[in-house]
Homo-oligomer: A and B are copies of this chain.
Amino acid sequence: MSGSEADLIARYFAVDEVSRDDVILGIGDDGAVLRVPSGKELVVSIDTLLAGVHFPHDTDPASIGYKAMAVNLSDMAAMGAVPAWATLSLVLPEKNHDWLKAFSRGFFELAHQFNVQLVGGDTCRGELAITVQLHGFVNTGEFLRRDTARPGDLVYVTGVLGDAGLAMLIKKYKHKLRQKDYQYLSGRLDRPFPRVEAGQSLRGIAHAVIDISDGLASDLGHILASSRVGATLFIDKIPISPVFASCKDWLDDGMTWVDLAISYGDDYELCFTIDPRNQNMLEQQLLNTPYTCIGEITTSPGLHCILENGEAFIPRSAGYDHFSGM
């Protein structure tokens, strides 16, 4: 770190919003020194966010900071991990004090809520790119994974799907909406709430877990491919919000609402599979998180979407692909 770089980190990010006992040496040296509790395994995830890809160009910096933390917390959730430490690499076009102040406020809002300490950082000048790595703990052998779904499992999602995609479309086409509804959808796009608590509750219950970042069809597809199974998805069971439901007619003008709900992504809900015999246990464990059964795992490979009338539905796209058409 050079002089002004160190100043920048010190000024905006070394503010000790969270101070954990397991951080032996935090920001300010060549590396952080950290202590993993005995009996725990370390879980790490890394995600980069770019303007125009992971958030609209006009997103306020506080929401960018919030989302950079949220998408990584969502990975921790999908692993059943308790988040602990973060590192941040910030590529910035300029040193804009207001931007940095707002960004760090959003970043630390979630960090504080989940007791995550920022232990390292790097900044340099270039096209805006935000990379966060999170570190968390699970009891030895208790982490959740995506490659362990079994035929006969029920498929669930937390929360509702499609709001983030709808928010993007509404911004893009400048669709008129009641102020309250617009705010709800923007919040779902800009400030997804990571299902960290739900992820931890799923340990010992769920067979396979993934977070929905690229769309249900794509992410459930990862569970299926890595578990070497298939699934039947009941389209009429897909949970959507009242605001989303109120926009269905507008949506079906250009693209079907189903495609938006299952193929758009950015929802950061969890998708998981459980043995049907564990339904009661699920009810007892997942007290604070809404969830819905949307399908079942099959032996025949692939994702088969079924409409209420029994007809097959073919999703238009298989989720967000950063290198599609390249």
Contact = CB atoms under 8 A, between A and B. Distances in A.
B322 A30 contact: no
Interface stretch (A73-81, A251-259, A280-288): A73-81
A79 B120 CA distance: 14
Contact of A321 (B2, B36, B120, B211): B2
A3 B45 contact: no
A248 B87 CA distance: 41
Contact of A124 (B50, B81, B147): B50
Interface string A86-129: 01110100110000000000000000000000011111111101
A206 to B, nearest CB: 13
A210 interface: yes
Number of copies: 2
Contact of A122 (B29, B48, B85, B226): B48
B133 A87 contact: yes
Nearest to A85: B44
A226 B28 contact: yes
A41 to B, nearest CB: 5
A5 B87 contact: no
A227 to B, nearest CB: 12
A323 B95 contact: yes
Interface in A299-325: 318-324
A70 B75 CA distance: 28
A150 interface: no
A277 to B, nearest CB: 25
A29 B326 CA distance: 24
A322 B218 CA distance: 39
Contacts of A324: 4
Contacts of A143: 24-25, 31, 33
A32 interface: yes
Contacts of A85: 44
Interface in A45-94: 45-48, 50, 53-54, 74-76, 78-79, 81, 85, 87-89, 91, 94
Closest 9 CB pairs of A and B: A30-B78, A31-B45, A127-B127, A30-B75, A31-B79, A48-B89, A46-B87, A95-B326, A34-B42
27 contacts: A2-B214, A2-B218, A2-B321, A3-B218, A3-B321, A4-B323, A5-B322, A28-B226, A29-B79, A29-B145, A29-B147, A31-B75, A31-B78, A35-B41, A38-B38, A47-B122, A48-B122, A50-B91, A50-B125, A54-B124, A89-B89, A95-B323, A122-B131, A123-B322, A125-B326, A131-B131, A133-B133
